[in-house]
Structure 1
Amino acid sequence: MFAAYSFFYKDEDKSQIEDMQTIKVKKPIPTTWVMEDSTDKMTDKKYYYLSNKAVNAETGKPADAGFTIGCSYFGGLNGVFTSDTPIKTKDITKDGVMGEYSIRFDEKPMEYGSSELTSLNRVVVLSSEHLQQIENSKRVLIRITTGVDNYRTFEINSEGGSNLFKTIKEFCMKKAKENKAL
């Protein structure tokens, strides 16, 4: 009876250990580039933009944050990183509210910067250099200081966006030419 008892309970312990190991190995939800469009209700013009959702780098859970990249008036790209939590205000200049962030592309060293903040301090305006690096990267990490002096780090899987970047750049150039013709 002791042998049977030992055998059954050892199997039960093994299955519990295997279940716990399976839980620990879960990976963050993958993120991907999406090209979306919207139509202006006043002018009926169609606009395209790229977006890519972020995950919370510490927890691996989805975050209501990510990149949005669209056309500038002159044919280039404008981009922003939108946070799910307010970003701490660093300073106020003639251009408006400024906030600090850190950004890292792939395995390159982390860069520090400050940017104009918009939309209740949840949006960081990206530079053209950042947009070029995002286009050619596989992984981007962005850390912000939140409005309550905590840090939040976001991870974005930026791999596979080069074809969509090419498409949106062509669209933006076409729109810029149309704007100049008017």
Structure 2
Amino acid sequence: MNGNQLLARAREGAEWYEANLVGRETTIYCKDGFCFAISWHRECYPHLTGLYLRRAKNDSRPVSPGVFYELLLQKRHLDAKRLGFTDNHHFADLKAEVLLEAINPKNTHLVYEITSGVFLLGMGDMGYCLGLVRDVGLSYGERNVYRPKSVFNGDILNAKGFSIQTVHDVADVVTRFAPTLSVSPHS
């Protein structure tokens, strides 16, 4: 995909993410009793795209993830020449292919407990995974809350760099409005 196509996909995903997830918490219930929650913050979304936006074409400094997210929602023209890639263009392409599917919690059929790699948990299906990290601001005691960190295109069970401890089958997914959900300072 070229830069304009990547921006269009990122914008489409941001609109869905804002309308369906921001300010909400999703609880994933697995058939074996494993359970956890996901908090959906605005500034987490750009990480899922593999993109960042530079302040100007010739400036390597990025705008904050929250600013990039707001610019995506404003539907104003964004110059694709300001795009940067968190890994590389190829990974941004791969993420864009599965982004809309991966951010919809209702598409989750499997949960992966990961012992090595960037994520602590992954959720999705055999073709993609939404990587999750602990949301330290909302986790306490036995309450395990995570936030989205990245999207992986492919079967994470066979991916290099990840060690899967346990795979859980999902029984139910419940997303509800969380009026006390604060915007996470993590980005």
**Larger Rg computed on CA atoms:** 1
TM-score of the superposition, structure 2-length normalised?
Answer: 0.22
Write 1 or 2 for the structure with the bigger share of strand: 1
Q: Whose RCO is larger (CA < 8 A, sep 6+)?
A: 2
TM-score of the superposition, structure 1-length normalised?
Answer: 0.23
